[in-house]
Structure 1
Amino acid sequence: MARETILEPDLPIIDPHHHLWDMRGRFGADAPPPRHGFEAVLHRAPHYLLDQLMTDLGAGHNVRATVFVECGAMYRAGASGALAPVGETEFVNGVAAMSASGLYGETRACAGIVGHADLTLGEAVAPVLEAHLAAGGGRFRGVRQSARHDPDPAVLGPLGGMAAGLYRSAAFRAGFAHLARHRLSFDAWLLEPQLPDLIDLASAFPETTIILDHVGTPLGIGAYAGQREARFGIWRDNIQALAERPNVVCKIGGLAMPFLGFASFLAEPPATSAALAQEWRPYVETAIEAFGVERCMFESNFPVDAGTCDYATLWNAFKHLAAGASGDEKAALFHDTARRVYRLDI
């Protein structure tokens, strides 16, 4: 399929959500085909490091900078369980330094870093956060700890196994309280039925900036197959309630993941950007209406969203969705909100 013509190629973009990883050892030569959508994504992109990222960033859109979000890559071998994730921050800061050299072009990859820390450590998480800040070279901006959970194992597949109610637990909240003390934000990834947990967390910690990843991950697979449209109203009501908390910001993306059950996932031939925009429009427009452009930012979620489309097509889809917005509104959605929320010095 021919690559699409880039829409509005001069529009400045900050991509506030991507990953880097090397999972080439995850699948053996004789491994059977993946049985879950997320495993299929990893099978397609087992190796996504600076070279692969720069290829995507060079696809034609005017991406000025990016933010890396934790994905369990390059943990320190031999480190204690609590400090092992600091290895990921060390690794990404090295990639950021490579990009900052200018050798790879003008885009500043990984200008902001969101790492992982186990906030259920409570008071004991303080030295972990300090280690991330030291390893981040001035780029460490926040923490992500996912609360993803569903009683149906078919929904999350290999990403399942977490207990319910993480964001409501006293131990987690004791650690969460340290984020504001270090001027760190929190990225929240959870599934649509768990949105009330995040609403409660945001109310309890109004001084901490919380970024909702992937518009709350609506569901349309497993036990939710065939229910995506019926559950839209539940998702919408929770998004509107969450938007009433002024400390919450919404990332618009992740709609190309397998969890929604869209026909575009792994489709052959791949869907066009116009088709994707039509598919995603109800979620995108509802989120923007609830939060406003000053608290919304488009995200690529690459390489995870590569299960549906390439990088150029994904940003074209967002540009279709923002076609009726003013210049200032586009600036907020594609660049300014991300720069402000992640405090990027670019």
Structure 2
Amino acid sequence: MKIIDCHHHYWDPRVNPHPWLTDRPMIPFRYGDYSAICRPWLPEDHARAAAGWDLVASITMEGEWSPADPLGEARWMARLAQEQGTPAAHVGQIWLDRDDCAKVLDGYATLPLTRSVRHKPRSTPRPGMGPGGLADPAYLAGVAALARTPLMFDLQCPWWHLADLARLREVAPDLPVIVNHTGLPADRSPDALVGWRAALEQAAGMGTVYLKISGLGLPGRPWRLEDNRDIIRTAIDIFGPDRAMFGSNFPVDGLCGSFDTIFSGFDAATRDYGAAERAALFHGTAARVYGLDPV
């Protein structure tokens, strides 16, 4: 099976500014202690992790480079792609509610490797605690500016804020949105999963919305198919193979399992799907959405 890893990182905190990887004390993190990933993760590391899989292309995600230089990581990634042939596309950093948003968007026009941008909106710790940053007028003004460019929008927020996509659609009805990390279903209690499924169904009905099935690790336990199979299949049922894609979230999800464990889990969870459906999930959807050469 050819695969495109639709969501992972490259970073080198020895020479580049990633405060969360270098500063101490470490920040609160959903997987707990992340000291094991506070080191360089470069193309050779990713290739080594993916050994045994036919990894034909990679899409890198912004890795919280210093917000003082929002274009710096994308420029570094473009140099990396020129020198090493990877990544095939990049999702850049943006701060939609800052005064420099338009200037940064103009900067991305000179960096064609960057196909999408991400700014994680402010979120609440639990459902029912009010709207998150996705409903903020300043944030939405940045979304409207983004919609006037060729870029897409990668959205990472807990599932209980996906309803605010309706506000986004008011200012950017045609902006392609890629929901990251399966909507973050970290709470696997029955009530939470009912809410997660309803949120994904609502998001899937809002036009050009896609889903990255990734980031499924659970704190304090290894990545296991028995924990994630139903999540994977429910997500595919809702979005369909033509709007869903698989990503490793490496090196972050390396805290939960190996690359082989995670992609073997995707493989096992979809073994009874048709060949065309599996081809879409493993590489076709990512190639089409992010404008990569056919594989």
* 1:90-137 per-position Cα deviation (integer Å, ceiling 9, x unaligned): 11111111222xxxxxxxx21111101111136x52221121231x2x
1:69 to 61, 84, 103: 61
Matching of residue 99 in structure 1 with residue 84 in structure 2: yes
Give the partner amino acid of 2:94: A
The whole-number CA distance in structure 2 between the counterparts of 1:66 and 1:143 is 16
| Residue from 116, 125, 146 that aligns with 2:120 | 146
Among candidates 316, 319, 324, match of residue 272 of structure 2: 324
Distance of 1:13 and 1:289 partners within structure 2: 20
The CA distance in 2 between the partners of 1:308 and 1:254, in whole Å, is 10
1:149, CA displacement in angstroms?
2.2
In the alignment of these two chains, the number of paired residues is 286
* 1:144 Cα deviation from its structure 2 partner: 0.4
Provide the identity percentage: 31
Question: Superposition RMSD on alpha carbons, in Å?
Answer: 2.6
Within the candidate set 44, 49, 62, 1:51 is matched to 44
Provide the TM-score with structure 2 as the length reference.
0.88
* Superposed displacement of residue 235, structure 1: 0.8
| C-alpha contact 2:159 2:184 (8 A) present in aligned 1 | yes
For 1:304-315, what aligned pairs fall within 5 Å after superposition?
A: 304-315=252-263
**CA deviations over 1:185-236 (Å, ceiling 9, x no partner):** 100000122222234324652210000001110133xxxxxx6332110111
Superposition deviation, residue 148 in structure 1: 4.8
Residue in 1 aligned with 2:140?
A: 173
- In structure 2, the residue matched to 1:239 is 200
Cα offset, 1:241, TM superposition: 1.0
Cα pair distance change 1:247/1:35, threshold 3 Å: closer
TM-score normalised over the length of structure 1: 0.75
After superposition, the C-alpha distances for 1:35-87 in whole angstroms (9 at most, x for unaligned) are 85545234345321222122123x111110011111123x49xxxx3xx1100
Q: 1:22 to 1:70 in 2, by over 3 A?
A: same
CA shift, 1:321, in A, is 0.8
**Contact preservation (8 Å) 2:91, 2:117:** yes
Q: 1:228 aligns with which of 181, 189, 192?
A: 189
Equivalent position of 1:292 in the other structure: 240
The secondary structure found in structure 2 opposite 1:178 is helix
Q: How far apart, CA to CA, are the structure 1 residues paired with 2:292 and 2:74?
A: 16
Paired residue secondary structure (2:120):
coil
The reply on whether 1:342 has 2:290 as its aligned counterpart is yes
> Which of 1, 5, 8 does residue 18 from structure 1 map onto?
8
Which string of whole-angstrom CA distances, capped at 9 and with x for unpartnered residues, describes residues 244-276 of structure 1? 112100111110153xxxx634xxxxx5xxxx2
Aligned pair in 2 of structure 1 residues 199, 334: CA closer, same or farther (>3 Å)? farther
Who is 1:119 aligned against?
Answer: 96
Report if the CA contact (8 A) 2:9-2:250 is conserved: yes
| Structure 1 unaligned regions, length at least 5 | 1-10, 101-108, 153-162, 221-226, 266-270
2:163 corresponds to which of 170, 191, 196: 196
Corresponding residue for residue 132 of structure 1: 108
- Evaluate the alpha carbon distance shift between residue 177 and residue 203 of structure 1 in structure 2; reply closer, same or farther with a 3 A threshold: closer
Larger Cα Rg: Structure 1 or Structure 2?
1
Alpha-carbon distance, 1:23 to partner: 4.0
Structure 2: 5+ residue stretches without partners: none
Distance 2:146 2:170 in 1: 15
SS at match of 1:110: coil
2:52 aligned residue: 60
